[in-house]
Amino acid sequence: MNGQILVAYATRAGSTAGIAEAVAEVLRDAWYTADLSLIKPDLLPDAYDAVILGGPIYMGSMREVEEYVRAHHAALESRFRAAFAVGMSFVKDDEEKLAAARDPLKKAISPLEPEHLGYFAGRTDPARLSFLQRVALKVVGSPIGDFRDYAAIKAWAREVSGDLGGSHTP
């Protein structure tokens, strides 16, 4: 592998962007070329040796990730190495709820099965949300604040990096 990695992500309020940036930073520290990009239909995975996808869970789905995987399934089959989901369900240490919270990522990437799956708590900033989104937060009792654990995120990214073939030299 020559080290060209795509870290593509979806985000709505910026929380997932911070996590994707941390993942790309770890890959760059390992001397990979890591391109960071929002998921968009014309983003082609063909130019990369490996692809990492991430996105937020909203209303029980990861629509952008699912659409991207469906559109680029053939190219991803040999390149898709890792995926991560970001959601407030990952804040609490309740194994039953955590198991259910993992389902949207598995559904979004199916039938592909990358080697690494990451699940991270995100950030909820009511000031960045619409009125209806703020109401929904209250109804479901979602925690408010920044719960991103960058130490855990970077540890996961180092594990992914190591499985990509180890450190590269410039």
Residue 168 is predicted with a pLDDT of 47
Q: How far is CA 45 from CA 30, 32, 53, 124, in A?
A: 21, 16, 11, 30
Residue 10 is predicted with a pLDDT of 96
Give the DSSP letter of residue 9. Answer: E
Residue 170 is predicted with a pLDDT of 44
Degrees to nearest 5, angle at CA 104 with 99 and 106: 80
Residue 84 is predicted with a pLDDT of 96
In this structure, are residues 38 and 68 in contact, taking their beta carbons and an 8 Å threshold? Answer: no
Ranges of each domain in the chain: 4-163
Q: What is the mean pLDDT of each run of 10 residues along the chain (170 residues)?
A: 86 90 95 94 93 92 95 94 91 78 92 93 78 72 82 96 65
Residue 140 is predicted with a pLDDT of 67
* 51: nearest Cα among 73, 30, 67: 73
Residue 87 burial class via C-beta count within 10 angstroms: exposed 0-12, middle 13-18, buried 19 and up: buried
Residue 143 is predicted with a pLDDT of 76
Which tokens go with 170?
């410039």
CATH architecture of 4-163: 3-Layer(aba) Sandwich (3.40)
DSSP secondary structure, 26-84, as one string: HHHHTT-EEEEEE--TT--GGG-SEEEEEEE-BTTB-HHHHHHHHHTHHHHTTTEEEEE
Residue 141 is predicted with a pLDDT of 67
